[in-house]
Structure 1
């Protein structure tokens, strides 16, 4: 690499280094989403960089969703927060080229979801139980046609995402919700919705009813076993129906 090329590499990476330094500074100061960041002149003085470098670093942070800029009275730069939907969309797009399979997804679901269920046994309040039961009301009866069959499967995935949101483990909640989104938005079921499957509906609903009973009773091992059986059933169903993950970019 020539001296000119080396200099260009250093010049181009400087805004990236400054952006990382600003993130470190935000953490050190304990700033939270919505807190105001110093003005441009103060950032220039603090980091000892040029106006152009500071502006490019701030643009990088805005692109990441970590900085929000507002105009007008009371405007300026503020600490941003990456939304869950955006983070999941970015992650889905990352996996676009990774050839993720249904089996990959269910390997994780079988490992993670029973543990979430066990951790929540006896810890959900009446309002949270009511949320789960309200979702189940969307498939209280067997589907009458293929359109209803798909809607019921989507509602069932919403049940799992909702349950994960109750977990105090943010990473578990995020990844289980992410897998539910992938299965809702990016899965093509070659024969799954060709006709209603009442036996499948009955078994899946029974699992969820037993799960809610175990959660209410504080039966951690029972909740774990029911969820494990439910996940294994869903895995077999996907394999039987030749489900595949469709390649499509997700909008942020």
Structure 2
């Protein structure tokens, strides 16, 4: 099957795709915000000089991208929307489906970023946020008694990191870290399945998280950075010892 290309040699974009891009440019130029209403279908046809079918297909493309939402009934229509973090994480994870992402790749990033996240949050979290992190760190007060329970504890630990990332004042840093936690939660296969359970790893991981919360509460950026760096090293060692690898599968927006 042949693919039509433009004069530049790139695949030729369909008319609905081009119109969808024009609508996005139109929205940006007018600085429209989430919830702002778009022109109706008749106005779109006149605005962009295309057929009803092209406008409808362009709007479906934008809706699939999470950039607009359509409501029916009185006061309905198409409205500007923003891409949710869940959708963005899912799209990015599905991109990496084709990139042979490895555990080593993720931990190279985690070792670089998470200690800096921890340091940046020292002394910045509210009492409510610190209490939430303490609750997450203390969720499992006893070591696992089975492989399945140890896996549950590991998932809970990743939830701790994802939630901490959401507190970051740096949206990009927070997103990247929460994305890595999501990938490790949803796409990790443990060949040895935590058999037998490892109480020492449980103890070290729990102590690191409790110590981190204390450093964050005390506003000690240096300690927070050091504790998280040590925690990342131990977490990677655990993954390597249990022969973890990433599954190649597409993931949805369930979280």
Say whether the fold is shared (TM-score over 0.5): yes
Give the gaps of 5 or more residues in structure 2: none
Structure 1 CA distance for aligned equivalents of residues 21 and 104 of structure 2? 37
Equivalence for 1:14: 15
Q: CA deviation at 1:160?
A: 0.3
Pair 11,159 (structure 1): closer, same or farther in 2 beyond 3 Å = closer
Structure 1 CA distance for aligned equivalents of residues 136 and 98 of structure 2? 33
Is residue 82 of structure 2 the alignment partner of residue 81 of structure 1? yes
Structure 1 CA distance for aligned equivalents of residues 29 and 207 of structure 2? 50
Q: Does the residue aligned with 2:138 lie in a helix, a strand or coil? A: helix
Q: CA deviation at 1:49?
A: 2.9
Equivalence for 2:112: 111
1:96-175 aligned within 5 A = 96-175=97-176
Q: CA deviation at 1:233?
A: 1.0
Structure 1 CA distance for aligned equivalents of residues 196 and 235 of structure 2? 17
Q: CA deviation at 1:12?
A: 5.4
Equivalence for 2:217: 216
Cα distance per residue 1:187-224 (max 9 Å; x no partner): 01112421221101111111111111111111111111
1:32-111 aligned within 5 A = 32-111=33-112
Where is the helix percentage greater, Structure 1 or Structure 2?
A: 1
Structure 2 CA distance for aligned equivalents of residues 10 and 76 of structure 1? 32
Q: TM-score, normalised by structure 1?
A: 0.92
Structure 1 runs, 4 residues or longer, greater than 3 Å off: 9-12
Q: CA deviation at 1:48?
A: 2.9
Equivalence for 1:225: 226
How many pairs are equivalent?
A: 248
Cα distance per residue 1:114-170 (max 9 Å; x no partner): 111010000001000011011122222211222211111111000000100000111
Equivalence for 1:202: 203
Equivalence for 2:30: 29
Is residue 249 of structure 2 the alignment partner of residue 235 of structure 1? no
Higher mean C-alpha deviation, range 26-35 or range 178-187: 26-35
